[in-house]
Structure 1
Amino acid sequence: MIKDYYSIFNIDQNSDLNAIKKAFRREIAIYHPDNNPNEEAKDRFNDLVEGFNVLSDPKKRSAYDEMLRASMTNKPMVIEQQEQYEEWQEESKTSSKKYRTTALEELLLLDIFLDVSIPGMFGAGDLFDDVGDAIGDLFDLF
């Protein structure tokens, strides 16, 4: 059985990338070891990183949505899908370890600068709008 990342983030399946990012920021602020050092929080944090790694990548998200639909109708996963899902879980373990050892403030600031620089570098959006959105998301956390 695969995890329902949409439920973990408390978002709708039709949510766009900005909604996914906002939910990820909100949730990691709650479950990051700086704020919540217990073992259950660690497991939840790992699930959040895993979910974000899948839902923020359009190709992974599309494949994941197919797997999720199949699991909801009790259809077994194809071997290739199962292997792909397990590969995503392994990739996420590495990211999760790195994120857990990074101070929450640094993690959120890094996310803001990455969020700002990528669209701004390629001219896909207005740099100042991106900064405002990212800073607004940060203030929503506190």
Structure 2
Amino acid sequence: MDKLTFATHTYQQTNVSQTPEVWRVRALRGATTVSQNTKEAIAEAVDELLDALETNNLLNPTEIVSVIFSATPDLDAIFPATVARRRPGWEQVLLLDVQQMQVVGSLEKCIRVLIHLNTPLPQNALRCVYLRRAAQLRPDLALVL
């Protein structure tokens, strides 16, 4: 087995408040619900959610690091990532689907998304989006369309 040699690096600490154009990895959340467990209904809801996130945050797919979708167990007609991958510029975005933990009395037919992106914006400048019945999850962040 070959030995790996690691170079010694010196890292300079920077003060973010004095460097306005420092890019950082930030996270952006969103959620929506669907009326029924069909490919068409899920695709419509995912597109609507991603459109709203892109519009409200001026997202550029080349700046997205990764996206995690979760869906409640009652949604299995299509992967939300399959819908996202069809979007222009999203072909190279790393996408993952997971099943949302099932909690008694929780919101049904719900799709959530967590987007990791590179941006010079501070975390508080990003606008999370909660649509349809998912607005009840975060009424303070719900977007009225």
TM-score (norm 2): 0.28
Structure with the largest fraction of helix = 1
Structure with the largest fraction of strand = 2
Report the structure number with the largest CA radius of gyration: 2
